[in-house]
Structure 1
Amino acid sequence: MPLSRRRFLTSGSAIGAALPFATASVYAQSGLVPDPSIEQTLVLQSAIDAAASSDGRLSLPSGRFVTRTLHLPSNVVISGVPGATTLIHAGQGALFDIRQVRHVTLSGLTLDGSGADGDEWHGGLIHVSQSSDIVIEACNITNTQLNGLSALSSSVRITNCDVWESALSGIFIYDGEAVFISNNRVHDCGNGGIRVWRGENAIDGAIVTGNRIWNIDWTNGGNGQNGNGINVFRADGVIVSDNAISDCTFSAIRLNTTNNTQIVGNTCFNSGEVAIFSEFEFSGSVIANNIVDGAAAGISMTNYNDNGRLASCTGNIVRNIATHSEVNPDTSPYGIAAEADAIVTGNLVDNVPGVGILAGWGPYLRDVTISSNLVRDVHIGITVSVADGAGSAVITGNVISGARDHAITANRWWDIASRDPASDGGQFSNLTIRDNTIIGG
């Protein structure tokens, strides 16, 4: 039966108490019925438009409401009862289309995409485009062939949301402005957890912090384009901090062609390839105080062949590296790798069935310092390149404990050129190796 005005007002009393300026009568007068057998797109759209023209607030009661795409105007707050107000998508594309508007907030809503797809480029069940001051908080977003939430050329704040079962990414940001993504739970997504991308390199400044991300697949395949918990591409000045990330098919955190990016204080479990990867034409990556436990490789700052350079890797714990990668057979087990203009200091590397720390690969080595690290329970403690064209490296003050094969080697590509380069005098003029402590073996 349709709800009476009295029953609507009664069910909305708790919302009105939590939001004192909410107009509870907006939905009471609209004819909105929490009945999943009735499509209510027109009723909901009318209620949204009416709220925007009055005090800007629409509070929805508990229940399940079937709707097609809803278009949101500026200056509106739509709230529901957290975990109890569900909008079920009956169409294609976005459920909420937020386009060229300002000051929109969605709060306490559950959005069920019903497996809907759409034609919008990188569209989302919540799709934001060319908009500013958009807030998405305490919402559940699930069951879509799109991204859970996408924001293109917009400023958004996404906090305390649950996003899962998105065929693409949980959260996709493209050419963002003042984006803040915090304290969300993103899991069981087809191609990515949180993506912060730009069309061309520019200062982005997104902050991605305090999120929990797990079970990220690579449905569309590739060699690292998909399957990452957090992926930053061409977006400069991004901060990725204090996230807990587990069971990603490729990387927990992957930077591609970024500048001045900070990866700080994250905990990364069970990555299928390199856990924290700064690759291709990057510059200015700070990777500090992270924990990597379980991965095919730990932390990588490479691709000097593509001008990847300038990295600081300090205070990290890398442990329990696997013997191989199920998704990328080219990955060899190592703890930390750096190639150009890099400092690797104060890290702890433990239990690696390969090399603890790698300095350079073939000719791709320039000005790498490896100092004051503890490397233990590995096959080879530290390997440095002396292939033709390799630049300089400084290896000082490290402790290497329990290296089963060799403590420090100089390599030409895969081949070991010296099993004790510190004792080989002037043979390798590009190397400074001293004051390292070797324990056991």
Structure 2
Amino acid sequence: MALSRRSLLAATLFGTGALAVGPALAQSRPRADAATPLGQWGLEASHFGLRAGSAEDQSRVLQNALLEASKRDAPLLIAPGRYRISSVVLPEGARLIGVPGATQFIAAQAGPLLVVRRIKRAALVGLGLDGLDIRLGQRAGLLAADEVADLSLSDCDFANAGSVGLTLNRTAGRIQGNRFRSMQDSALFSLDSRGLSIEGNQVEDCGNNGIQIWRSQAGDDQSLVRGNRINRIRSDAGGDGPNGNGISLYRAGGVIIEGNTLRDCALTFIRNNSGSGVQIIGNQGRRCGEVALYSEFAFEGAIISNNLVEDCAQGANITNLDHGGRLSVFANNIIRNAQKGLAPKGKEPVGGVGVHVEAEATVTGNVIENASEIGISLGWSWGMRNLVATGNMVRKTGIGIGISLVPKERTALIANNVISEARLGAVVGTEYGKPVTGDLTRGADKRAAGIRVDNNAVS
């Protein structure tokens, strides 16, 4: 069987079964102007004139090849090499396949390299997209998808984006096993998702955020963010929350964030702003400058469990009863080394707290060690309602468990906790952060009416 370089490429991409098309390729080779099918696998873009290493903008050539492949309902195969393109539009059913780590699309000018809009389905595999650090408009992506019912993206490499690597608007699909590195803004920005699976990606060295899932209005997003590695997220644009986050949700409800590892985030590992029914489960984070795990503003129904957080200003903050933030479970987490200090570009010291909650919240089964100010903070000012802290182990803190006594009516249960080496008291009533009672494990205080403190082990 006669083998060509192209048939060997097909074998590399798809396995040895693709070699069976060798004779057909050999027979058709004399007609260089004909697009040659690789059996059932697809068409080679080189037959349409796409040339690796050319200094020319090859957008039109690639566009024509994609249109022909779409007409034939066939994948388009891109050989290893570098190709300069800009704003190439993927047609309905496009399947664009390269060799991971070897096929690279390079920005020919400012703007997206690839565009997918208002189609049912498209898939990209094994492609590199390099933006050459050409500055783009806010939230402009190297790949821009708009109203796509099923987008599949795997084994792709996004690098040197002048804003965002991948932007998605009203799009559903699977973003799996890709690498995002050196983004001036963020790796991925999704607005009004129709349900995304974002799994097993690697995100590194982003200027402001890692993965962002936002909605224009609060609603049920249903995205899954699982098993991603996110490292070195800066906060170049500053601010007190919109930037510096590994994973950022805004108004996106029903999202599951599970099994991610995060390192060196300027502010927050995972921030949920106004998303109801969000679960943050089994993630691991080390080194962040502000609150590691955040659920804030108008949310209801947050579950934060089985996470491991180390070396942060604050372990977790479940807050903003003043904006309707309520109803949460904080369970079975390990929080270590929450130390008060200056957040990046901050002017006032923050943190020193293991976990803070405000309304209809249960804090149970957690291990909190070495929080410089308070291990567990129950309420702030009047924002304190129906709180439970049971079965936790708190060690080496200022105050073990602090509870706000500002509200006239208050209900809280603090029971069956182990509190060790709390310098300023195991359980202490506070007003606006200042202690106003003695240690409530040693005796009742009339100022703490409505607070039940039972059966805690203190050493």
The TM-score by the shorter chain falls in which range? over 0.9
Aligned partners of 1:137 and 1:88: how far apart in 2? Answer: 18
Given the alignment, which residue of 303, 316, 320 partners 1:303? 320
Counterparts of residues 340-359 of structure 1 (less than 5 Å): 340-359=359-378
- Is 1:60 the counterpart of 2:88 in the alignment? no
Counterparts of residues 136-215 of structure 1 (less than 5 Å): 136-215=153-232
Q: Deviations over 1:315-344 (max 9, x none)?
A: 000001223133242523110111111000
**Preserved CA contact (<8 Å) 1:371 1:396:** yes
How far residue 105 of structure 1 moved from its aligned partner, in angstroms, is: 0.3
Match in the other structure for 1:77: 95
C-alpha change, 1:25 and 1:358, in structure 2 (3 Å) is closer
Match in the other structure for 2:12: 14
How far residue 371 of structure 1 moved from its aligned partner, in angstroms, is: 0.5
- Is 1:332 the counterpart of 2:330 in the alignment? no
**Preserved CA contact (<8 Å) 1:279 1:308:** yes
How far residue 17 of structure 1 moved from its aligned partner, in angstroms, is: 3.9
How far residue 210 of structure 1 moved from its aligned partner, in angstroms, is: 0.4
Match in the other structure for 1:323: 340
Match in the other structure for 2:287: 270
Aligned partners of 2:431 and 2:352: how far apart in 1? Answer: 18
C-alpha change, 1:268 and 1:25, in structure 2 (3 Å) is closer
Match in the other structure for 2:33: none
Percent of paired sites with the same residue: 32
Q: Deviations over 1:74-108 (max 9, x none)?
A: 11110101101111111121111001112100000
Match in the other structure for 2:69: 51
TM-score normalised per structure 2: 0.91
Aligned partners of 2:14 and 2:140: how far apart in 1? Answer: 33
State the secondary structure of the residue aligned to 1:65.
strand
* Counterpart code for 1:424: A
How far residue 425 of structure 1 moved from its aligned partner, in angstroms, is: 4.5
Match in the other structure for 2:31: none
How far residue 10 of structure 1 moved from its aligned partner, in angstroms, is: 5.1
Q: Deviations over 1:208-228 (max 9, x none)?
A: 000000111111111011110
Aligned partners of 1:406 and 1:351: how far apart in 2? Answer: 14
Match in the other structure for 1:432: 452
Aligned partners of 1:342 and 1:419: how far apart in 2? Answer: 24
Unaligned runs of 5+ in 1: none
C-alpha change, 1:198 and 1:24, in structure 2 (3 Å) is closer
Aligned partners of 1:83 and 1:89: how far apart in 2? Answer: 17
Given the alignment, which residue of 93, 106, 109 partners 2:124? 106
**Preserved CA contact (<8 Å) 2:312 2:339:** yes
Counterparts of residues 359-374 of structure 1 (less than 5 Å): 359-374=378-393
Aligned partners of 1:406 and 1:122: how far apart in 2? Answer: 48
How far residue 16 of structure 1 moved from its aligned partner, in angstroms, is: 5.4
Counterparts of residues 354-433 of structure 1 (less than 5 Å): 354-389=373-408, 391-422=410-441, 423-433=443-453
Q: Deviations over 1:278-321 (max 9, x none)?
A: 11111100000000111000011111121211010000000012
- Is 1:223 the counterpart of 2:240 in the alignment? yes
**Preserved CA contact (<8 Å) 2:340 2:350:** no
Aligned partners of 1:425 and 1:40: how far apart in 2? Answer: 78
* Counterpart code for 2:101: G
**Preserved CA contact (<8 Å) 1:214 1:246:** yes
* Counterpart code for 2:81: G
Given the alignment, which residue of 52, 55, 59 partners 1:37? 55
State the secondary structure of the residue aligned to 2:287.
strand
Counterparts of residues 278-293 of structure 1 (less than 5 Å): 278-293=295-310
State the secondary structure of the residue aligned to 2:341.
coil
TM-score normalised per structure 1: 0.94
Unaligned runs of 5+ in 2: 19-38
Q: Deviations over 1:398-436 (max 9, x none)?
A: 000111221111111132111223412544212001101
